A and B are shown apart, each in its own frame.
Chain A
Amino acid sequence: MTYRLVVNGEPAEVGVPGMRRLLDVLREDLGLTGTKEGCGEGECGACTVLVDGEVVVSCLVPVCQVDGSTVRTVEGLAVAGGALAPLQQAFLEAGGAQCGICTPGMLMAAEAFLAAGGEPTDASIREAIAGNLCRCTGYTKIVDAIRLAAERRAGAGAA
């Protein structure tokens, strides 16, 4: 079967089995290896991407269910020309990354949280990343980074 999706703004067409995981389509068929495989069973959130704006774990989504959908991965965050997105810049400044394996998924969960525009309290940020495990125990700085990005976004909106 041929499936058509829009990945990071670019149309993509893949001829693959319908039960292939979106994770494998992204990494193996489209060469977008920014999305990481952690557990492969929906527990760790490392493979988190956005499908039509909603966070999903791409290891549990078969490509047949995203035919015609819009997908955003970590490669789609940086702006044209390669400059870091404000969210990525905030992770860098706050020290919100250590080994890096959880970072692409954390960034995508955080991106969905920022887009939803909720109040960046500790509780709401922690709920937004509750499905993303960090084994470097770096949650505090990750939460700081997301709050920083949310505050800057709100400031930019008000300006």
Chain B
Amino acid sequence: MPVEPPVVSPRSLAEAYALLASAPHRPLAGGTDLLVQLAGELGPVPDRVLDLWRLDELRGIRVAGGALEIGALTTHAQLRRSEACAAHAPTLVAAAATIGAAQVQNRGTLGGNVMNASPAGDTLPVLLALDAVLVAGGPRGQRQVPAAAFWPSYRTTALRPDELLLGVRIPIVDGRRQAFRKVGTRRAQAISKVVLAASWRRDPTWRDVRIAFGSVAATPVRATAAEAALEGASAGPEAIDRAVAALLGELHPIDDVRSTAAYRLEVSGRILRRLLEDAS
């Protein structure tokens, strides 16, 4: 049997904050990353685990204040069933549908995906592309961190050890279009070789372009050179050519167990090209 570190299951956020303030705890959401790490003896075993599963305060999806608000404990299955997500964040629904299969989607959570901070986390490029804000809570109250500043380096987040992720706010923008692409070895149960999310408006030139990739760097990244190549440009093949060329200049993927740098770069350019052509 895998190691079984001590665990506490608080019934309220206040209780969870008090436990976090008393001693370091490793937060546990749906378990689909943490239990894999424990079973595989990947990394140090946490001294204490803080089970968040009973914190219903962190569940739910609603539209409020011009934004889609999603609780951190919302499962991938719940994202897939949500009409509000389908209307305002279809790329998030698409990403959720590619994570694991039904078994993992029923337990794995959006907040867990965010806090696991894997460069291959499939929802993370979506949050970057939609200008999402991550809402954190702790003993000093709540604060909001833009997705663009949330994953500063490999597998780290902007949160302090005594803070918890409460949820995600995605601003609702009139006329915003969005698209998602994932490349893996099969359609279910695959960790991404490359994952891409984008959003934009057309007036009819390209406006407010956001292009974000996962699995091509130590963190999920915005492709800001490719974005700049499109911003304000007229529709047509020239702008797409410039964006793809800019992308190939700014991405520096690596070889690892899932793919190679050369494959990732080639595929990144192609899926961006097809996405932009489909959007034209």
A64-B7 contact given A40-B39, A41-B36, A55-B106, CB 8 Å threshold: yes
The reply on A101 being an interface residue by CB < 8 A is no
In the complex, which of the residues A18, A45, A127 contacts B7, with contact meaning CB atoms closer than 8 Å? A18
Contact A18 B39 (CB under 8 A): no
Instruction: Decide yes or no whether A60 CB sits under 8 A from chain B.
Output: yes
Closest to B101 in A: A131
Cβ proximity bits A44-63 to B, threshold 8 Å, 1 near / 0 not: 01001000001111011110
B4 interface residue per 8 A CB criterion: yes
B4 touches A48 (CB 8 A): no
B64 within 8 A of partner (CB): no
* Structural contact, B6 and A62, CB atoms closer than 8 A: no
- Contacting residues of chain A (1-53) with chain B, CB-CB under 8 angstroms: 17-21, 24, 28, 40-43, 45, 48
With a CB–CB cut-off of 8 A, which chain A residues contact B40? Answer: 41
Q: How many residues of B are in contact with the other chain, CB < 8 A?
A: 30
In the docked arrangement, what's the CA distance between A65 and B40, Å?
Answer: 20
Tell whether B35 is near chain A: CB-to-CB under 8 Å: yes
Among A54, A60, A64, A130, contact of B189 (Cβ-Cβ < 8 Å): A130
- Chain A residues near B189 (CB-CB < 8 A): 43, 130-131, 133
Distance A43 CA – B36 CA, assembled complex (angstroms) = 10
A48 to B38, CA, bound (A): 19
What are the residues of chain B within 8 A of A20 when measuring CB–CB? 1, 4
> In the complex, which residues of chain B have a beta carbon less than 8 angstroms from the beta carbon of A74?
none
Q: Tell me which residues across on chain B come within 8 A of A28, comparing CB atoms.
A: 1
A60 engages B32 (CB within 8 Å)? yes
Within B1-51, which residues are at the interface with A (CB < 8 Å)? 1-2, 4-9, 28, 31-32, 35-36, 38-40, 49, 51
The answer on a CB contact under 8 Å between B102 and A62 is: no
**Residue A94 CB within 8 A of the other chain:** no
- Whether the Cβ atoms of B104 and A57 lie closer than 8 Å is yes
A24 to chain B, nearest CB (A): 5
Q: State whether A18 and B51 are in contact (beta carbons under 8 Å apart), knowing that A41-B39, A60-B35 are contacts in the complex.
A: yes
Interface residues of B in 103-158 (CB under 8 A from A): 103-104, 106-107
* CB proximity of B87 to chain A, nearest CB, Å: 23
Contact check: which of B7, B35, B102 meets A59 at CB < 8 Å? B35
Q: Which residues of the partner chain A approach B32 to less than 8 Å between Cβ atoms? A: 42, 60
Expressed in whole angstroms, the Cα–Cα distance for A133 and B32 within the complex equals 18
Q: How far is the CB of A135 from chain B (nearest CB, A)?
A: 14
Which among B1, B36, B51, B188 is the interface contact of A42 at CB below 8 angstroms? B36
Chain A positions within 8 Å of B38 at CB level: 19
Q: Mark B173-215, 1 if CB is under 8 A from A, else 0.
A: 0000000000000011100000000000000000000000000
Cβ of B60 within 8 Å of any chain A Cβ, yes or no, is no
Whether B104 and A131, one on each chain, are in contact in the complex, defined by CB atoms closer than 8 angstroms, is yes
What residue of chain B has the Cβ atom nearest to residue A16's Cβ? Answer: B4
Who on chain B is nearest to A20 by CB? B4
User: Separation in Å of the B113 CB from the closest CB of chain A?
Assistant: 14
- Interface hits, A43-102 → B, CB 8 Å: 43, 45, 48, 54-57, 59-62, 64-65, 67
- How does the 8 Å CB contact mask read for A106-137 relative to B, with 1 for contact and 0 for none? 00010010000000000000011011110000
Contact A24 to B1, CB < 8 A, known contacts A18-B51, A60-B36, A62-B7: yes
Q: Pick from B1, B4, B107: contact of A56, CB below 8 A.
A: B107
Q: Kindly list chain A residues whose C-beta atoms are within 8 Å of the C-beta of B7.
A: 17-19, 62, 64
Docked CA distance A59–B2 (Å): 10
A42 and B101 CA atoms in complex are apart in Å by 10
Q: Are A18 and B9 CB-contacts (below 8 A) given A42-B36, A64-B51?
A: yes
Let me know if B106 and A54 touch, CB within 8 A.
yes
Interface residues of A (CB under 8 A from B): 17-21, 24, 28, 40-43, 45, 48, 54-57, 59-62, 64-65, 67, 109, 112, 127-128, 130-133
A-B contact pairs, 17 of them (CB 8 A): A17-B4, A17-B6, A19-B6, A20-B4, A41-B39, A42-B103, A48-B103, A54-B77, A56-B107, A60-B35, A64-B51, A112-B102, A127-B102, A131-B103, A131-B104, A131-B188, A131-B189
